[in-house]
Chains A and B, each alone.
Chain A
C-alpha cells in the first residue's frame, strides 16, 4: 500500500507541476461574461438604432412639410441606420455570440468532469472485472481528479490560444462598431453625429424659430415653447449619452477579450485557488472510494 501511496503522490506532484506550468487563465467565467456583454451590446444597439431612425425620420417629415415642392421621393427620408446595415450588425452579433458560445462550451467544466467520471469507471472495471487489478481507491481518485484537471487545463490553454489568434479580428469588429456609433461631438459620419445634428441643427432651431415668432408680450406662449425647448435639450443629452455608452461598451468588449486572451495579472492566484480545489476534490473522491465496495485493496 505504501508503494501505491508513493506512486500516487509522485503522479500527483508531477501533474501539479505540469498543470501549474500551463499559461492559460481560467477563462470559464471570462467566456460567460463576454457572452453576456455581447448580448447586452446587441440589445443596446438595436434600441439606439430604433431611436435614431425615429428621430431622423421625424426631422425629414418636418423638413418636407416646410418645402414648397410637390414632388415626394423615398430619398427624402434617409434612415440613420438603413435596413441592410441593421441586418449586417445583427449578423455580426450572431457571429460574436456563436464564438463566445463555442468558447464557453470548450471550457465548460462538465467536459473535464466527464473525463474524470470515465477514468473512475475504468478504474472500477479494472478492479471488479477479470483483471482484479486491485487499484487502491485513493490512487483511482487521484487519477480521476488529475485526469479531469488536465483536460480542463488543456481546454483552457486551447481556448486561450484561439482567443489570442482571434483577438485582432474580434477587436476589429467591435472597434469598427464603436467608430460607427461614435461617442463625442464632431465625429463626422458617426451615428452620434447624425443624432446630434438632428437635435442641434433641426429640433432645437425649429423651436427657436417658434420662439422668435412669438410676441414678447406673450408670456404664456413663450413659457410653453421654453418648456418644450428644455425638454428637447434633456432628451438630446439622454440619447447622446446612451450612444456614447454604447460606443464605450463595444470598446470595453474588445478590451475584455484581449485581457482574457493574454491572461490577467492574477493568474497565479487563480491557479493557486484551482490547485486548492483539486486537493479538495481528491479528498472527496478518496473518501467516497474508501466507503464504496469493490474499490480495490483499501488499507
Chain B
C-alpha cells in the first residue's frame, strides 16, 4: 500500500510474531505462575500494538484522503454532462417561447391592420 512507513509495518509484524510466540508459550505451560507472567507480557505487548496500529491507521487514513481526490475530480465531468442536458431542454423551451412571441407579434400586427 502506497504511503506506508515500512518501519512501522515491520514493527507491527514483529509485535504480531511476539504475540503468537507468547500465546504458544501459554499453550505449552501448566504452571499458573508462568501462565500469569506470560499474560502480563501479553498485556504489555498489547499497549505497544495499540500505539503502532494507531500510527499505521493514521497513515492509511491519509492515503485514503489522497485517493479520494481522484474520485472528486469525476464530479466535474458529471456536472458538465448534466449541464448539457439542461442546456438542451432550455434551448428547446426557448425556441417554443420564441415562436409563441412571434405569434403574438404577428397577431398584434394583424389586429392593427399591418398583417
A binds B: yes
**Residues of A near any B CB (own CB < 8 A):** 56, 59-60, 62-63, 66, 75, 78-82, 84-86, 88-89, 91-92, 95-96, 98-99, 102-103, 105-106, 111-112, 114-115, 118-119, 121-122, 125-126, 129-131, 151, 154-155, 158-159, 162, 165-166, 168-170, 172-173, 176-177, 179-180, 186, 188-191, 193-194, 197-198, 200-202, 205-206, 208-209, 212
- A98-B75, A162-B77, A201-B49 known; 8 new pairs, CB 8 Å cut-off, are A59-B50, A88-B65, A99-B75, A106-B82, A121-B92, A172-B70, A189-B52, A201-B43
B89 on the interface (CB 8 Å rule)?
Answer: yes
Which of B35, B57, B75, B96 contacts A102, CB < 8 Å? B75
Pairs across A and B, CB under 8 Å, 8 listed: A88-B65, A102-B75, A194-B50, A194-B53, A197-B19, A197-B49, A201-B19, A201-B45
Given contacts A63-B43, A209-B36, contact A177 B75 (CB under 8 A): no
Given contacts A99-B74, A125-B96, A194-B54, contact A105 B82 (CB under 8 A): yes
Cα distance A78–B13 when bound, in Å?
Answer: 19
Taking a contact as CB atoms under 8 Å apart, the answer to whether A89 and B78 are in contact is: no
B47 on the interface (CB 8 Å rule)?
Answer: yes
B114 on the interface (CB 8 Å rule)?
Answer: no
Taking a contact as CB atoms under 8 Å apart, the answer to whether A111 and B36 are in contact is: no
Taking a contact as CB atoms under 8 Å apart, the answer to whether B46 and A201 are in contact is: yes
Cα distance A134–B64 when bound, in Å?
Answer: 60
Taking a contact as CB atoms under 8 Å apart, the answer to whether A172 and B67 are in contact is: yes
Given contacts A188-B12, A200-B23, contact A193 B49 (CB under 8 A): yes
Most buried by A among B35, B45, B71, B93: B71
Given contacts A88-B64, A99-B75, A176-B1, contact A111 B82 (CB under 8 A): yes
B102 on the interface (CB 8 Å rule)?
Answer: yes
